[in-house]
Amino acid sequence: MPQVTTPKTSRDRYAVGLERLQTIDGRDGQEVVAALSKISPDFARYLVEFPFGDIYARPGLDLRCREIATIAALSALGNARPQLEVHVAAGLNVGLTREEIVEIIMQMSVYAGFPAAINGLNAAQAVFDRHPESVAATGKAKPEE
C-alpha cells in the first residue's frame, strides 16, 4: 500500500503549494492565483493547497512526468485552452522540449479526436510564440512566420 505523504497543516500545504507553483509555473501561475483571488480568495487558496501542495508534492512522479500527464489531460478535454497554455509553459519550465509537447498533444488525437488535438496544438503554438527563450531547450530556431 502506498505511503500517504501530505503536509499536516493547511499552512504547510499552502507553503509547499506556493513553492511548487513557483517551480512549475513561475510568473504564469502567480498571475492565475492573483486573478482568482480577486473573485474568490478561498478558491485561489484551494488551488495552491490541493493540486500544488498535495498532489504535485507527492513522491512517485517527477514534475516532468506530471506535466506530461497534465498536458495530455487538458488537450484531451479540448475546452481548457487557458489552463493548457499555462501547463505547456510549465512543461517548458520543467524541461520538456517543444517537440515532446507537440508529440504529447498529437498522441491525444487518437483518444480525444482531431479537434481536441488541433485546439491543443494551437494553444501550444501560442505559448511557444510567447516563450522564445525555450528555443534553447530544442536546439532549433523559432519557425518563420
Q: In 3-state terms, the chain is what percent helix, strand and coil (to 5)?
A: 75, 0, 25
CATH 1.20.1290.10 residue ranges of the chain are: 61-139
Q: Which pLDDT value is given to residue 139?
A: 43
The three cell numbers locating residue 120: 491543443
Torsion of CA 117, 115, 35, 126, to 10 degrees: 60
Backbone angles phi, psi at 139, to 5 degrees: 80, 5
Residues in the chain: 145
The three cell numbers locating residue 131: 516563450
pLDDT digits (tens, 9 = 90+) for 85-109: 999 999 999 999 999 999 999 999 9
Measured between alpha carbons, how far apart are the two ends of the chain, in Å? 52
pTM greater than 0.85 = no
Q: CA 114 to CA 96: how far, in whole Å?
A: 23
> With bands split at pLDDT 50, 70 and 90, how would you rate the model's confidence at 116?
very high
Mean per-residue pLDDT, 99-128: 98
25, 86 contact by CB (below 8 A)? yes
CATH number of this structure's domain 61-139, picked from the four choices 3.40.190.80, 1.10.390.10, 3.30.470.20, 1.20.1290.10: 1.20.1290.10
